[in-house]
Amino acid sequence: MHIAPTLYILCDQKEINVADVKGGDVQITFRRRLTEELQLCWDGIMTDVDRYQLQDSEDLVVWQIGKTKKFSVKSLYNALTQTDAGSDHRRIWKGRVPPKIKIYVAVMQ
């Protein structure tokens, strides 16, 4: 069972935003009582929400891998082949396998 999607399914307020919850404007309720596992997950989510300072500005996506902070296939390839699992990834990318299989195998590891 994937916990976060289950919490979403059980949530009564699906169109709410984080700022409303963080500001105390809205109290999240669920259609049924949460199991202990779901409650622990929910408490973790709320703890994470409390840690972040929200800003009234547009979101900015930053690629943490690479010098330019923008996504490129090259930066992803370099990250996959220069980590502890690099030798395994090198065998995947250098092998004579269709690209869609290479990507699937790399993602599944």
**How do residues 8-35 score in pLDDT, each as one tens digit?**
999 999 888 888 888 888 889 999 999 9
Which pLDDT belongs to residue 91? 66
Q: Number of structural domains, the chain?
A: 2
Residue 56 belongs to some domain of the structure: no
Rounded mean pLDDT, 36-40: 93
**pLDDT above 90: percentage of residues in the chain:** 18
Own/partner long-range contacts of 79-84 (Cβ < 8 Å, ≥24 apart): 80/106
Residue 64 belongs to some domain of the structure: no
Helix axes 86-94, 99-108, angle to 10 degrees: 160
Residue 61 belongs to some domain of the structure: no
Note the pLDDT tens digit of each residue in 69-109: 888 888 887 777 775 555 566 666 666 777 777 677 766 66
Own/partner long-range contacts of 20-25 (Cβ < 8 Å, ≥24 apart): 21/49, 22/49, 22/50, 22/54
One domain for residues 7 and 42: yes
Residue 58 belongs to some domain of the structure: no
One domain for residues 47 and 77: no
Domain ranges, residue 44: 3-51
Residue 62 belongs to some domain of the structure: no
Residue 68 belongs to some domain of the structure: no
One domain for residues 46 and 9: yes
Residue 66 belongs to some domain of the structure: no
